[in-house]
Amino acid sequence: MLPQKRGRIPFRIVMNCYWKILAVFLLFLPSALSLQPRALLVSFDGFRWDYIYKVSTPNFHYAMENGVHVKQVTNVFITKTYPNHYTMVTGLYAESHGIVANEMYDPILNETFSLNTMDIHNSKFWEEASPIWVTNQKEGHKTGAAMWPGTDVKIHGVFPTYYMPYNESVSFEDRVARLIDWFTSEEPINFGLLYWEQPDEMGHILGPENPLMGPIISDIDKKLGYLMSELKKAKLWDVINVIITSDHGMSQSSSERVIELDQYVNRELYEVIDHSPAVAILPKEGKLDEVYEALASAHPNMTVYKKEQIPDRLHYKHNSKIQPILAVADKGWEIVYNKSDGFQFGNHGYDNILPEMHPIFLAVGPAFRKNATKEVMNATDLYPLLCHLLDINPLPNNGSFNAVKDILAEEVPVAFGADTYATVVGVFLGSFLVMVFIAVFVKHFILTQANTMQMQHTEAAQPLLQD
């Protein structure tokens, strides 16, 4: 009777404490949950790194003050849309991920790939690599993609968990709305990808030095502002790591800087697979040397390589889809058959060493430093960074996490992913149970001791030492 009664008191106290602690714990749960790894990767096609200085871009500057701005990002050669978008999600050079151009011919498959005609859905072209969404989903997470190149292609048997079939007519606002839905759904994504076609299209038409680019850049700034305000409305802005970047820059062309292949070599001898300014040339059977000799020193502003001569620093050689001859124009020059070919005032695809080819790069969110800048990084480093943010294991790649980890906030335990969170909860509950156990044990021990003492006390009248 007596021990039972005494046992009930500590139990009630313990339970009382337990509920109090649990209440406090639940109070902090939302902020702890907010540290769950989540990221949104945004690309504004052709947004050159220095566009933010050309006109007032308050939203870009807001993101810069609240995050990290990397001033020069060395993207990959060739500095075109598909190769660079695939590098961002694989961390590989074009020769290693296999999307070596927007227009490709695979001599082994005898098949073509073309962005011009949107003939890009042949999985085989994409499967030399495994993009980050495939890995993310293998590790049990969900991905949502709004028009990001390659996200409506089945790669290694899977699509992103949610994606939009490519349709350039779908507005920016609709793309953002879908992403917000996916991030806030019952089974939310941890990773979103958002692609927008501008300012690339207008950059080609007007040329980057054209003052009419001003309103185009302002419009992108407004779109970024819209994205940020929608994320804030959905209470996502403070908890998602957002990376705002691009695939490449743009340089000014001129009708004064045009190289005409027809002046140097007979068109019958070769086929152009990919176009200016990095022209992929497939000579007809047995005509390799003839075509090469004709073009090699044809024009001072065109460098012509046989495939095996392409400089190692370009990492653009070891792939069967890279054609036997590559002709690369100097900055601002164009290579055409003849001058009747269409002409645009802006282009990209040039050597990735040129600052004009470099994209914007901003990173904002709980994982990142605030109002910080970094001078240079390689575009290949974005992939290991994203894997870190999503708490997934990167596949072999050409980037380096160490090279970019300095953009992460130091105070915040950045590896505070779902696993870490589970560990923290486990340790908390475990230690709590241990404490309860110890408390109960100690209490019980004291009581038993007291009992014994009491008993001993009552027995004290009798002889104590029996043994």
Ligand X SMILES: *[C@@H]1O[C@H](CO)[C@@H](O)[C@H](O)[C@H]1NC(C)=O
Q: Which residues are catalytic?
A: 81
Which phi-psi region, left, alpha or beta, contains residue 275 (left: φ > 0; alpha: ψ -120 to 50)? beta
Q: For residue 465, what is the DSSP state?
A: -
**Residue 263 lies near ligand X (rule: CB under 6 A):** no
34 vs 400 by CB, closer to ligand X: 400
- If one asks whether residue 331 binds ligand X (CB under 6 A), the answer comes out as yes
Binds 200, which of Zn ion, ligand X, none (CB < 5 to 8 A, cut-off by type)?
Zn ion
200 binds Zn ion (CB under 5 A): yes
Of residues 347 and 398, the one with the C-beta less far from ligand X: 398
315 lies in the binding site for ligand X (CB under 6 A): yes
Which of 31, 184, 266, 338 touches ligand X by CB under 6 A?
338
- In sequence order, what are the residues at sequence separation of 6 or more whose Cβ sits closer than 8 angstroms to the Cβ of residue 73? 49, 245, 358, 359, 361, 376, 377, 378, 379
What span, in angstroms and rounded, lies between the C-alpha atoms of 118 and 120? 5
According to CB under 6 A, which one of 17, 330, 401, 409 is a site residue for ligand X?
A: 330
- The residue from 274, 378, 385, 394 that contacts ligand X (CB under 6 A) is 378
* Residues binding Zn ion: number (CB under 5 A): 1
Per CB under 6 A, 170 contacts ligand X: yes
**Between 180 and 436, CB nearer to ligand X:** 180
Contact letters for ligand X, residues 279-308 (x by CB under 6 A): ---------------------xx-------
Find the residue with minimal CB distance to Zn ion.
Answer: 200
Q: How far is the CB of 141 from Zn ion (least distance, A)?
A: 31
Task: Report the SS3 class of residue 346.
Answer: strand
Task: Check: CB of residue 329 under 8 Å from CB of residue 79.
Answer: no
Strand partners, 258: 334
Q: Confirm or reject binding of residue 185 to ligand X (CB under 6 A).
A: no
CB of 170: closest distance to ligand X in angstroms? 5
Strands 162-163 and 241-245: what pairing? unpaired
Number of continuous H segments (helices) and E segments (strands) in the chain: 12, 18
Taking contact as CB under 6 A, which single stretch among the options 44-52, 279-287, 394-402, 416-424 is the one that binds ligand X?
394-402
Among 52, 92, 224, 261, binds ligand X (CB under 6 A): 92
Residue 393 near ligand X by CB under 6 A: no
Quick one: what does residue 170 bind among ligand X, Zn ion, none, with the CB cut-off 5 to 8 Å set by partner type? ligand X
> Which of Zn ion, ligand X, none does residue 445 bind (CB under 5 to 8 Å by kind)?
none
Answer for the pair 164, 175: CB distance below 8 angstroms, yes or no: yes
Measure the CA–CA gap between 237 and 197, rounded to whole angstroms: 23
Contact indicator for 88, 151 with CB cutoff of 8 Å: no
Break the chain down into helix, strand, coil percent, rounded to 5.
40, 20, 40
Closest approach of Cβ 352 to ligand X, in Å?
A: 11
Do 41 and 86 contact (CB within 8 A), yes or no?
A: no
325's enclosing H/E stretch is: strand 325-329
366 three-state secondary structure: coil
For residues 116, 121, 126, 127, the Cα torsion angle rounded to the nearest 10 degrees is -160
Cβ 35 vs Cβ 416: under 8 Å = yes
Q: Which residue's CB is nearer to ligand X, number 91 or number 144?
A: 91
Q: Which of 153, 294, 377, 392 binds ligand X (CB under 6 A)?
A: 377
H/E segment holding residue 146: strand 143-146
Could you tell me which of 382, 386, 419 has the C-alpha nearest to residue 133? 386
Q: Is 95 in the site for Zn ion (CB under 5 A)?
A: no
Nearest CB to ligand X, comparing residues 81 and 303:
303
To 5 degrees, how large is the angle CA 398–CA 400–CA 402? 170
CB under 6 A: which stretch of 27-35, 324-332, 350-358, 459-467 binds ligand X? 324-332
Q: Is residue 334 part of the contact set for Zn ion (CB under 5 A)?
A: no
Does 13 help bind ligand X (rule: CB under 6 A)?
no
The one among 185, 263, 371, 449 contacting ligand X by CB under 6 A? 371
* Distance, CA of 448 to CA of 458 (rounded, Å): 15
Closer Cβ to ligand X, 85 or 331, answer by number: 331
d(CA 349, CA 249): 9
Which of Zn ion, ligand X, none does 371 bind, CB closer than 5 to 8 A by kind?
A: ligand X
- Which positions lie near Zn ion, rule CB under 5 A? 200
- Which positions lie near ligand X, rule CB under 6 A? 65, 92-93, 96, 110, 167, 169-170, 262, 300-301, 315, 330-332, 337-338, 340-341, 371, 376-378, 396-398, 403
